[in-house]
Copies of this chain bind each other. A is one copy, B any other.
């Protein structure tokens, strides 16, 4: 890892009012150094173990939520049994592969959602999430 990269991550955390602790920097590195990721807490935890970063699962959860609140991550709800966190925080949608449990981004401009009916009284849109669930073609 490059020096400047670490400094960038530290700035990213500071800008989000999060102290750049050892654990946060390690997580930020795992999350943001390698393109878009869709990751679960357990997965991130084992990635950290694999990278010889000592960090408890509680801290993983704390930080995933703090990162999300700070707009550094976004939670994607596709599976009722676990939470996925997405490093792409721009508005966009997803393919969800049902067999493998993997997510793939769909850029917002590719896909169009039209004719949303009048919202329930007294509400405003907080997000529009499209999930295209796909499965392997059986042959």
Copy total for this chain: 2
Instruction: State the CA gap A116–B96 with chains docked (Å).
Output: 13
A residues 73-114 touching B (CB-CB < 8 Å): 75, 77-80, 82-83, 95, 97-98, 104, 106-107, 110-114
Which of A9-17, A18-26, A48-56, A124-132 participates in binding chain B?
Answer: A124-132
Give the size category of A's interface with B: 35 or more
Per-residue interface assignment for chain A, residues 17 to 48, with 1 indicating a CB less than 8 Å from any chain B CB and 0 otherwise: 00000000000000000000000000000000
Instruction: State the CA gap A101–B135 with chains docked (Å).
Output: 29
Q: Please tell me if the beta carbons of A126 and B130 are within 8 angstroms of each other in the complex.
A: no
In the complex, which residue of chain B has the Cβ closest to the Cβ of A81? B80
Contacts of A3 in B (CB 8 A): none
What distance in Å separates the Cβ of A64 from its nearest Cβ neighbour in chain B? 12
